[in-house]
């Protein structure tokens, strides 16, 4: 058994788990945060994406013990004060989800993507950067629209200043 200490969505948590326990299972089963999903067993689908120290990671590819000491944000920690994050709001406005199962991972990937590109996102870049997330419902059309819209929303000020 190993001891794991994490900050999850701003709250300090700790617990014992088997060394082989994956971060996603620790989050889902020990912490009861079931917004992070498991859609495959080969790190391909991206339904398990969370942020670890501010960067998107696939929580099915990291052992809980490896994550010990880090700060993790899950989909449950994204909306602040009851207001949807701009990426969440854009997914709703542009119908970027249907069954909702891939959505948490898709949103977490999109937030990191938008943060990293400093407002410089176009359709081709968004499609390439979504490579690690599979959606079977939407055909990606509206997901791409939502990410571009959220990007404009989040970087609107910076973009205007540059112009």
- The residue ranges that bind other proteins (CB under 8 A) are 18, 20, 28, 32-42, 44-45, 47, 74-76, 78-79, 84, 88, 91-93, 95, 97-104, 107, 123, 126-128, 130-131, 133-144
Minimum CB distance to other proteins smaller for 118 or for 139: 139
Q: From the CB of 155, what's the least distance to other proteins, in Å?
A: 20
Q: From the CB of 100, what's the least distance to other proteins, in Å?
A: 3
Burial class (CB in 10 A: 0-12, 13-18, 19+), 141: exposed
Minimum CB distance to other proteins smaller for 131 or for 158: 131
DSSP letters along 53-97, please?
Answer: TTEEEETTSSBHHHHTT-EEE-GGGTSBTTBPPHHHHHHHHTT--
- As separate numbers, helices (DSSP H) first and strands (DSSP E) second, the chain gives 6, 5
Minimum CB distance to other proteins smaller for 3 or for 92: 92
Give the Cα separation of 1 and 18 in Å (integer). 5
Minimum CB distance to other proteins smaller for 6 or for 126: 126
- Cβ distance 62 to 23 under 8 Å? yes
């Amino acid at each position: 058994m190993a001891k794991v200490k994490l900050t999850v969505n701003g709250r300090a948590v700790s617990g014992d788990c088997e060394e082989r326990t994956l971060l996603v299972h620790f989050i889902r089963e020990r912490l009861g945060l079931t917004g992070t999903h498991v859609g495959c067993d080969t790190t391909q689908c991206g339904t398990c994406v969370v942020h670890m120290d501010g960067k998107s990671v696939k929580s099915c590819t990291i052992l809980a013990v490896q994550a010990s000491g880090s700060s993790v944000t899950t989909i449950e920690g994204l909306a602040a004060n009851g207001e949807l994050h701009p990426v969440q709001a854009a997914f709703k406005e542009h119908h970027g989800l249907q069954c909702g199962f891939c959505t948490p991972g898709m949103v977490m990937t999109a937030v990191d993507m938008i943060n990293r590109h400093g407002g410089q996102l176009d359709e081709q870049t968004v499609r390439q950067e979504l490579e690690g997330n599979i959606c079977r419902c939407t055909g990606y059309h509206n997901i791409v629209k939502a990410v571009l819209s959220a990007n404009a929303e989040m970087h609107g000020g910076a973009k205007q200043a540059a112009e």
